[in-house]
Structure 1
Amino acid sequence: MVARLALAALFGSVIGLERERLLWAAGLRTHMLVCVGSCLIMLVSAYGFADVLGTDHVVLDPSRIAAQVVSGIGFLGAGTILLRGEVVKGLTTAASLWGVAAIGLAIGSGLYVPALATTALIIGILAGVKPFEERWRARMQARTLQLTVRRDALSIDTLQAAIGGHASRVRTFTVRPSADPDLDEVTVTFVRLSQASVTAIAAKLRAQPDIVAVEEVDD
């Protein structure tokens, strides 16, 4: 039993180190404690009631204690989730805590190979998938161009004709009067375009005779 607790601490530390590297609140010690605690709860469920099982008029379901870990770990996960502006942070760390709790339960029940495989998979997901996720998010990010054009010279149709195949990526097209009565200010927002593609579109628009200025805006 002590060896299982030690193994749970080891597996939890592997995942905790990855979170600690990113300076999350739930880091090394938190993941170790969750994994060890879940392992102990599983041991109590499996062996803690051996002296009363089989006694007359006593009916116990030891698995019920271990089952509470799945729902009970939620309060720790909720503590790692933060709302910053319109962005929710900490969901991945909350999920890793939930996964570590499951690893602890598996080790406590003697399922060492599934626990090891789950640890490797979680590390692969947290560390290996992140670069692809960031690349995808960068591509999906909305990008905005601020245009200064001659009055009534640019419409959505002329914009689409100017940018060609990227016209389907236009999410918003807004025209408002400028302080100069001869000019309009146009805001165009694109989605699912890389920064290089937006820069190329900006170069095309600058070549248009009725477009005075094109500025790329960081969202």
Structure 2
Amino acid sequence: MSMPNLTKPSPPTLVIIRGNSGSGKTTTAREVRRRFGRGAALLEQDYLRRTVLREHDSAHIDPVAPTFITTTVRTALDLGYHVVLEGILHTERYAVVLHQLIDDHHGPVAVFYLDVSFDETVRRHLSRDEPIPVTPDEMRTWYTHRDLLDIPGETVIGETSTFGQTVTTILHASGLTTAVPQTPCPRRCPHCARKADQTITVTEPS
């Protein structure tokens, strides 16, 4: 009589991508999640703060967003999702909750900072397909030079790194290239199973 496999899955991976407005963190985070596939949650600071809470990003109002965002991350991790969290996440308002989030997580953690000069952030912002309606002067008031979390292993990626290089660095350094999905979709999803079967059929030699 065979014994059931009682091996617990390894804890999910937490990836944090930070940087100034216009540094390319959102586009990068979306591509990282796209390449991983299902089983990774993408949590964007701007969406959670601006759209869900509709809260201004100011230290003068004792904001709810830092706690709300990190609680959302914890929930996704607890449910077995690998998490890619991206945002400016200024240390003035987010350092304490991010350090706590990292300390409390028992799985792999990888933190990245996109270190891009102010002039380059403006250039990248203006080259977007749909630039946010803000001026360079407004962007300058948000810009913070090398606003690092100062945790062991924090990876700083400079502006000379291409988009493709940055995405590849994050996937490999975080371990997502070898991490497996732990959530019901795609592990137990009939739709995903059919897609996998179709992929195998297409790629097998005739």
Question: Taking structure 1 as the reference length, what is the TM-score of the superposition?
Answer: 0.30
Which one has the bigger helix percentage? 1
Question: Taking structure 2 as the reference length, what is the TM-score of the superposition?
Answer: 0.31
Which of the two has higher C-alpha Rg?
1
